[in-house]
Amino acid sequence: MVAAPAEALALGFSSGLVCMVSCGTLLLPWLGARGQDFKGTARLMGQFLSGRLAGYLAFAVLAWALGWLLARSPSREHLALGLAQVGLSIVLALDGFSLLRRPSCPVGKKPLWSRLGSWAPLGLGLLTGLNLCPPFLMALLQASKGHHLGHALLFFLCFFLGTAPWLAPFLLVGTFRRSQALVKVARLTTLIMAAYYLFTGTLLLLGSFLHG
Amino acid sequence: MANSASILLPRTSLRASLMTLPMALWSLVIFSPGLRAGSNAQKLATLLVLAFTTSLFFLMLRSGKTYHYRRIFFVSLGFLFPVGFITELVMLRGSMSLPMESVLGGNAPFCAMAIPMTLVPAALKRILVFPGAILPTASNPNAFAPMVAVWFLAMLIMGRGWCSMGCFFGGIEEGFASILKKPKVKRFPGILKLLPWAVLLFIVLLSALSLSSTYCAWLCPFKAVTEFAKIRNVVTALQFIIPCLLFATLVVILPLLSRKRTQCALFCPFGAFQSLIDKVHPVQIRVDREKCKDCMLCEKACTNLALDSDCLKSGKPGSGCVKCGACVDACKSGAVRYHVRGTSLSARAETARLFFLYSGWCFATMFGGSILVSSLATVFHLI
């Protein structure tokens, strides 16, 4: 009973550096673009991690229900990853655009892109949670073996807890907010990231479509 | 009336010749192997480049102007380098494309522009994310270690002046930027000046994530005039098309229309990386606020979009400054000048300029001059 959660925790912690680099590629410019202080950055990280946990738990349900169906088929894996990356690019672009073009008048209804941008932390967390790297696939396999849904959920929760501490250093990004130039650079990088994820996501979707 | 300490009057030919002698001797030392042991084509190329670089230096000293003569050298380097390089590639392997065997075998020649991407993976994983050798071999003399050594030497000597005297790509866009008399595109959004930094952050992060040389594989515009991975599938085709589009836009069309070095000012992540290191270089461009008349001639002259009214108020150009001398030459009141860190702004401007010119031109002769000799010799062999 204890072995599976401990295994998940160990798996998450051992692959944390991959998560740190993988999420960091997105988190560093995106948190920098927000220009928040330490508290603000911590709040954003909390929202991001909540979205990530929600993504992990959703996958736990999928793993239990579909028996690791996704990971058995490379084209379905590409389809899932491609959709996630395209979704990520849309969220990043909306958020980046909303930061660069803040409404000049604070009174009245905010434009759509600004309202959508406020959901960005959760959305980004959810979509970055879907990263079908080997540790994640292993977690998926382990979770799918269990007969109970609770087993799968517990496994992924422990996997999440194992990876989460590796993201703690990004709380320090808020210290750079005093430099307006750095904040603008981070915003531009966020938009470049959006273009990158759109490009790679489109390639994955095309590959999934062409190779069945 | 401006005093002669702030605006340099032309020197006499005799004085300029005497001051050029050390540079001529240096050039002779650098090029003497080519004069002694090379083929006739090599000897002729060496003589021509020796005369060329020495003459330009003489003219810079005699006229008191930097930009125009430096540009002649720089544009020549920019256009002759690909000519020689492409010719050698075609002679060696029949095409510009790099076979996969060379990439997998670590035989791709290393380019200094890849340096920023290699740092994080090297620190985290102790690997070189570039398909090249660390030490030179017979089949690949342009390895990581010697290229980093050359670049480091350039940084010590010139700082970001590399971008105006050493970079064998920058001369191409400076050449196109010099064609039209008046710009058709007069303004760029201010935020775009920060784009090189954003591209730098992007490629550093992505190279750490993917453990590959992202910029070289996907974004380097100069693959259009050097070498690229052999096109085998959709991915390698895109890896050729995207850089070519970037080359056409940033190196040819926009510089032609705007008379600005748009690739350097608005995209090049290596330039942004060099700006970081340039912060500690002793020679900088400075604006003496007491002499400045806010005529903005320096802003119009600057090809790298490094000067604007905010920069003039702060007394120094932005991070895009490549120390090309355009602003110094354009300033009629002597307010914009070369300056050695730690000295007073009222100190003689020409001393700082000479310090920069002698050191920078020594490197330019050694590095760029050698490339010019090699490229010219290749052209002569073909004739």
Nearest CA in chain A to B210: A22
CB contact at 8 A, B371 and B168: yes
B211–chain A Cβ distance below 8 A for any pair: no
B123–chain A Cβ distance below 8 A for any pair: no
Nearest CA in chain A to B121: A21
H or E element: which one contains B283? strand B283-287
- What values do phi and psi take at B303, rounded to 5? -90, -10
B194–chain A Cβ distance below 8 A for any pair: yes
Give the best residue of B126, B129, B193, B194 to mutate against chain A (max A CB count within 10 A): B194
Burial class for A186, CB neighbours closer than 10 Å (0-12, 13-18, 19+): buried
Per-residue confidence (pLDDT) for residue A80, from 0 to 100: 75
Closest C-alpha among B107, B113, B122 to residue B166: B113
Contact between B195 and A188 using a beta-carbon 8 Å cutoff = yes
Give the best residue of B201, B241, B266, B311 to mutate against chain A (max A CB count within 10 A): B201
Instruction: Render pLDDT for A142-191 as a digit per residue (tens, 0 to 9).
Output: 666 666 778 778 888 888 888 888 888 888 887 777 788 888 898 899 89
Per-residue confidence (pLDDT) for residue B161, from 0 to 100: 94
Nearest to B194 among A22, A24, A185 (CB): A185
pLDDT in tens, chain B (383 residues): 344 444 556 788 999 999 999 999 999 999 988 888 778 888 999 999 999 999 999 999 999 999 999 999 999 999 999 988 888 888 877 777 777 776 667 667 778 888 888 888 888 778 888 777 777 777 666 778 888 888 888 998 999 999 999 998 999 999 999 999 999 998 999 899 999 999 999 999 888 888 888 898 899 998 888 887 778 888 889 999 999 999 999 999 999 999 999 999 999 999 999 999 898 899 999 999 999 999 999 999 999 999 999 999 999 999 999 999 999 999 999 999 999 998 888 888 899 999 999 999 999 999 999 999 999 998 888 87
Contact between B191 and A184 using a beta-carbon 8 Å cutoff = yes
pLDDT in tens, chain A (212 residues): 456 778 788 878 877 777 787 788 888 888 888 888 888 889 988 988 888 888 888 877 877 776 555 555 666 777 877 887 888 888 888 877 777 665 545 555 555 555 565 677 777 887 777 666 666 666 666 666 666 778 778 888 888 888 888 888 888 887 777 788 888 898 899 899 889 989 988 988 888 887 76
Contact between A185 and B198 using a beta-carbon 8 Å cutoff = yes
Report the distance separating Cα A157 and Cα A81, nearest Å.
Answer: 21
Query: pTM for the whole thing?
Result: 0.85
Nearest CA in chain A to B125: A17
* Single-letter amino acid, residue B363: F
**Complex ipTM:** 0.85
Closest Cα in chain A, distance from residue B192 (Å): 9
Nearest to B198 among A24, A25, A188 (CB): A188
Closest Cα in chain A, distance from residue B103 (Å): 22
Report the distance separating Cα B365 and Cα B57, nearest Å.
Answer: 10
Per-residue confidence (pLDDT) for residue B356, from 0 to 100: 95
Closest Cα in chain B, distance from residue A189 (Å): 5
- B285 strand-pairing partners: B338
Per-residue confidence (pLDDT) for residue B242, from 0 to 100: 93
